[in-house]
Amino acid sequence: MMRWPPFVAAILSLAFLSPEGPPVTTEGGIENAIVYGVIPPRFGSPPLQAVTRNLASLADLGITTLWLTPIFETPPGDFGYAVIDYLAVRKDYGTRADLDALVAEAHRLHLKVLLDLVPNHTSSKHPYFLDAEARGPSSPYFGFYQRDAQGSATHYFDWTHLPNLNYAEPAVAHWMTDASLSWIRTSGIDGYRVDAAWGIRERAPSFWGAWSAELRRARPDVTLIAEASARDPFYVSHGFDAAYDWTQEPGHWAWEHVFDDPKGVPERLDRALRETAAIAPAAHVLRFLDNNDTGPRFITRHGPGMARVAAAALLTLPGVPCLFTGQEVGAEYEPYGASGAVHFEQGGALRDWYKRLIALRRTRPSLRSRDWTRVASSAPTVYAYVRTAGTEKTLVVLQFDEHPVNVALDVPHQGTTLSLPGWGVAILESNGSGWRNFVQPAVW
């Protein structure tokens, strides 16, 4: 576990944290969500029960929506994206009763629960695929899988164990829609993060509109997140609430190389934000520092200082912020690597930082709005912007470097100068004639 350097933590104003402070806002659509990706076995054993035991801590952190990585039956040792039964909980995670208890406790704590749906493909060990391979065209499931001119099942990339489903076959669309509805009706889940949604969009784009309409008839407030680029407006127009902050190329994160060199962070971040904003409304963009496909954790690749400032960006910029298992405590692992539970009792200072940022976002409408205006800065490593909602204005100043800096900011009608320490963050409120700190600049 990476050790954090000594520092005096940045703190919110005491008035802001007091019980008499503004009420926390959790109502509304996806724009008010704080999503948290959960790998169940990283929480302990048995996995689903371990997640349930930790729900109060996630609610205390300020999370509103849980996304459980795949919990459907899968071959032994698989992460979960090779499904062999869409209607069964994987035995190494627990039972249907364990899932139902998790959902019930999450709802008691006002948390939504999303399952990870895998409709693009099945496992090559799925009973339907095994029957099709054994019996060929005489199998009733032969047409369930997309095939090339030679009759062989197709797949993407090197996913040879994940044959593509054939949505030109009506029975496949009915099967996947019925499976999706089943978990909503029987376990009371609140929606889905949909794996490889882009794949079905390429092969059978009409499916998503029909599928989402069926789910919304059963559950009007269902939450649907597409693993696909938000820069393609198709997904929101076909029923999804949000899609990933990717480039146009599947799997390539818009922020992938933004943080590689501190001196270039402001310009690279601004460019990525503007490229996405030119196409996708910010309210429908899922933003993240870590997820199941980003390999080594952000803190491992960029260090604790950069991780701390990037967290402030994630939670103060437009979009839907998504944290991932252990991110708030600086956990270091690879999602598809060796298993092991995260030590959530560690990383208290970082967790407190995340908790304060989340509380600030949830209580200030300007930090959840779609409005975002960059502020010119005299320092090349500082990125600053104003968020606005009605008359409320919030100024965010981020120092993406380990060195202290004095920075002049070109704030309209209220030019200001700040002294920031290395990896410093300042979040200020306009009082009409100047700016008042909500978060004092951090001292490392």
**Which of 107 and 442 is assigned the larger pLDDT?**
107
Among 78, 109, 50, 35, which residue's Cα sits nearest to residue 343?
Answer: 50
Q: What is the pLDDT of residues 109-128, one digit of tens each?
A: 999 999 999 999 999 999 99
pLDDT band at 28 (very low <50, low <70, confident <90, very high): low
- The number of CA neighbours under 13 Å toward the Cβ of 261 is 5
* Residue 274: pLDDT over 70: yes
- Contact between 105 and 59 (Cβ < 8 Å): no
Tell me phi and psi for residue 129, to 5 degrees: -70, -40
Cis amide linkage into residue 220, ω under 30° from 0: no
Residue 432, pLDDT score: 72
Number of neighbouring beta carbons within 10 Å of residue 412: 9
Q: Which amino acid is at 429?
A: E
Average pLDDT, the chain: 91
- Total-model pTM: 0.92
Tell me phi and psi for residue 438, to 5 degrees: -95, -40
Give the torsion through C-alpha atoms of 76, 78, 80, 85, to 10 deg: -40
* Residue 12: pLDDT over 90: no
Tell me phi and psi for residue 268, to 5 degrees: -65, -40
* Residue 436: pLDDT over 50: yes
Instruction: Please tell me the distance from the alpha carbon of residue 406 to that of residue 7, in angstroms, as a whole number.
Output: 19
Residue 281, pLDDT score: 84
- Contact between 40 and 337 (Cβ < 8 Å): no
Token duo for residue 170:
């009506």
* Residue 21: pLDDT over 80: no
Residue 430, pLDDT score: 85
Lowest-confidence pick of 5-19, 185-199, 250-264, 327-341: 5-19
Residue 40, pLDDT score: 98
Residue 2, pLDDT score: 36
Could you give the domains of the chain?
17-369 (3.20.20.80)
Instruction: Please tell me the distance from the alpha carbon of residue 207 to that of residue 217, in angstroms, as a whole number.
Output: 16
Percent of the chain with pLDDT over 90: 85
Among 119, 343, 332, 89, which residue's Cα sits nearest to residue 228?
Answer: 119
Q: Which amino acid is at 252?
A: H
Q: What is the pLDDT of residues 163-193, one digit of tens each?
A: 999 999 999 999 999 999 999 999 999 999 9
Q: What is the pLDDT of residues 369-425, one digit of tens each?
A: 999 999 999 999 999 999 999 999 999 999 999 999 999 999 876 678 899 999 999
* Residue 19: pLDDT over 90: no
Residue 6, pLDDT score: 30
Lowest-confidence pick of 147-151, 245-249, 390-394, 411-415: 411-415
Residue 263, pLDDT score: 86
Instruction: Please tell me the distance from the alpha carbon of residue 310 to that of residue 361, in angstroms, as a whole number.
Output: 15
pLDDT band at 439 (very low <50, low <70, confident <90, very high): low
pLDDT band at 133 (very low <50, low <70, confident <90, very high): very high
